Amino acid sequence: DNSGDVCGAIMRGLVDRKGEQFAYLVDGVLYTMEGEKSGRLEGNFVVDLAGNPVWRVVGDGVYTLKGMEPVGFFTGERSRL
């Protein structure tokens, strides 16, 4: 398992409301900061490894499913070298 170590892949950070990055997205797969897969981007949702919707994505914003409370946002795309 090369946990997101894909040369040249596009990476986006997932940052909480305080501005602290707590996860990152590589080619549609969400990883913890420790490099463990935790879910994926599927349409307008972040889903867990079992495919269950966890958060709603609107633009760069990430929100709870109920109440649309802000969770955080995705940063701009960066290439991983």
Domains and CATH numbers, the chain: 10-75 (2.40.220)
Residues with Cβ within 8 Å of residue 53, at least 6 apart in sequence = 42, 45, 46, 47, 65
* Angle made by CA atoms 14, 1, 24, in degrees to the nearest 5: 5
pTM over cut 0.85: no
Predicted local confidence at residue 6, as pLDDT: 52
Q: Which residues contact 19 (CB under 8 A, 6 or more apart)?
A: none
Strand partners, 60: none
pLDDT at position 1 is: 46
Q: pLDDT digits over 39-56, tens only?
A: 999 999 999 999 999 999
The ranges of the chain with pLDDT < 50 are 1-4
Kindly give, in sequence order, each residue whose CB lies less than 8 Å from that of residue 68, ignoring residues fewer than 6 positions away. 56
